[in-house]
Chain A
Amino acid sequence: AQSVTQLGSHVSVSEGALVLLRCNYSSSVPPYLFWYVQYPNQGLQLLLKYTTGATLVKGINGFEAEFKKSETSFHLTKPSAHMSDAAEYFCAVRAGVSQGNLIFGKGTKLSVKP
C-alpha cells in the first residue's frame, strides 16, 4: 500500500532562509507525488507534482522538489523564505495505478520569523 511520511510536524525558519520540508514515500508502483499547501481557513492548493520525466520539479511561488527513487524521497525546498510562505504543507502520493485519490502525509506547519 502507498504511504507518505513527513518528517517534522513543525518547521520554523527566518525570512530569507532556506526552506526544506521532508517527505518520504512508500509505493508498490511507480509513484505520482504531489505537494499541496493549505493556508489558514482555506482548501488545499497544488504547489507541484511529479509523475514521470524530469526528477527536479518546479512549482509555484518559487518552490521545487526533487524525486529521488533510491532514497524514496520527495523533499520540498525554497531558497529564500517569505513571510507569506507560512502555511501547512502536505506531501501526497497517488493511491494506485488505476486510482485517482491521493494518500496524504500528516502535514508540516511552516512558520517564518521576521
Chain B
Amino acid sequence: DSGVTQTPKHLITATGQRVTLRCSPRSGDLSVYWYQQSLDQGLQFLIQYYNGEERAKGNILERFSAQQFPDLHSELNLSSLELGDSALYFCASSDHLASTGELFFGEGSRLTVL
C-alpha cells in the first residue's frame, strides 16, 4: 500500500461527458502528480501541483484541468470526453517540490469512454 488513494477505481461513461477523478496523497506529501497510461502513448505526465499551486505541466489537453485543495487532495477534471481518453489515470505524490526520491503511485482510475 503506497498510501496514495484514488477514486473511483473504475468509471464508464459516454462521449461528451465530464468526469472527476480524485486523489488523496500520502500523509505529509505536498506534491501531487497526474499521469495518463494508455497502450499507444505509455505513461504520460499531465500536471503537477505543489501545496496548492500548479508547478509543472506536461501533455495535458485543454479539455482537462486539475486542482489541489487546501487539504492537499487533488482532482483531475476531464470534459467533452472522447473515445481516445479511455485510459488508466494515475496519481502520485512526493514530499518535496523537486524530490530526488521516489514518486508514490496510487492504483489508478480506469476510465472507459463508450
Contact = CB atoms under 8 A, between A and B. Distances in A.
Interface size class of B (residues with CB under 8 A): 20 to 34
Contacts of B33: 100-101
B25 interface: no
Contacts of A82: none
B31 interface: yes
Nearest to A48: B102
Contacts of A104: 35, 42-43, 45
A98 B100 CA distance: 10
Contact of A43 (B31, B90, B94): B90
A51 interface: yes
A41 B88 CA distance: 10
Nearest to A52: B100
Interface of A: 32, 34, 36, 41-46, 49, 51, 90, 94-95, 97-107
> Which 3 pairs from chain A and chain B are nearest by CB?
A43-B105, A104-B43, A106-B42
